[in-house]
Structure 1
Amino acid sequence: MRSFLPAVAEQLFKDIQKTYEEKSQIPDDLLIALKFVFGSCAVQALDLVDKHSVTCLSSPSGRKAFQVMGGSGRLYTCFTSCHYCPCPAFAYTVLRRNEGLLCKHLLGVYLSQAMGLTQQESISDQDISTLLAGGATAS
């Protein structure tokens, strides 16, 4: 799968994954790098990961979507395959103003994957098709 993130972000996620597998924590130097690359949403994204707010929905056909329970209790369906989150922060900060790479929800997805903390849920191909078409969420 082709990534939409800069190489520095991809390397940071790889470093986090490797270190977290070895030590079950993220050292300060990687936390500082995370804050430097992603700004203020890094802390919020780590909070989402700590709360186990990220779920990977996968279908028998191999399609995937991620649902993230936001701090307000709203459920956001994110797609890493096209680098998209429907939240207002993504639309405004990332798409409109081009002031950030990710919103906290997408960053939470990438971090939870790197740390192996993503919840897993299997759904039908019909349900994932509904999600992809912008329909109601599966959970």
Structure 2
Amino acid sequence: MAAASRAVTLPAVVEELLSEMAAAVRESARVPDEHLLLLKFVFGSSALQALDLVDRQSITLISSPSGRHVYQVLGSSGKTYTCLASCHYCSCPAFAFSVLRKSDSLLCKHLLAVYLSQVMGTCQQLSVSDKQLTDILLMKKNQEA
């Protein structure tokens, strides 16, 4: 499911890299050095920052009984950002500026960390009610307003 949603929004080279990483992790329980080098080449310093977030287990998948889900990433600044992997969105200022406004980045470090945590199987899981998930999304929207 996650791979199918990324295929719609990410360039083919990134999708291929994430798929190869997932296969390598399934086979050997580690990410090969050549994939780490490719991540650094494609994403620059954001790759290292995203890997740090994954190492610190900062990514939580919040899901509800209706099947809706959202990711929350505890950023290095201590703020929590909401990521919607299905539509390639993060609530952080870097995503708004570098990805949407300037188009000089494919992803922010938070969204990359979400994709990497999916590949590595390190995402924290939290189940909440549909109302709680709605409240989480509305609270985030009110904080941004």
TM-score by length of 2: 0.88
Name the one with the larger helix percent: 2
- Shift of residue 136 of structure 1? 4.3
Once residues 96 and 56 of structure 2 are traced to their aligned partners in structure 1, the CA distance between those partners, rounded to angstroms, is 24
Residue 77 of structure 2 aligns with which residue?
Answer: 72
Report the counterpart of residue 32 of structure 1 in structure 2.
37
Matched, 1:87 2:95: no
1:135 to 119, 130, 139: 139
Deviation of the 1:27 alpha carbon: 1.3
Q: Where does residue 52 of structure 1 map in the other structure?
A: 57
Deviation at 1:4, TM superposition (A): 0.7
Q: Does 1:109 align with 2:80?
A: no
Q: Secondary structure at the match of 1:57?
A: strand
Structure 2, unpaired ranges of 5+: none
Structure 1 range deviating more: 109-118 or 2-11? 2-11
Aligned residues: 136
Q: Identify which range, 56-65 or 80-89, moves more after superposition.
A: 80-89
Q: Is 1:23 the counterpart of 2:28 in the alignment?
A: yes
2:135 alignment partner, SS class: helix
Q: Which SS does the other structure have where 1:135 is aligned? A: helix
| Structural RMSD (CA) | 1.5
| Aligned mates of 1:37, 1:130 — CA distance in 2 | 36
Which residues of structure 1 form unaligned runs of 5+? none
In the alignment, what sits opposite 1:7?
12
Shift of 1:130: 2.7
Match of 2:123 among 102, 112, 118: 118
Percent of pairs identical after alignment? 54
Match of 2:103 in 1: 98
The residue type paired with residue 139 of structure 2 is G
Letter paired with 1:65 = V
Q: CA deviation at 1:106?
A: 0.2
Deviation at 1:131, TM superposition (A): 3.3
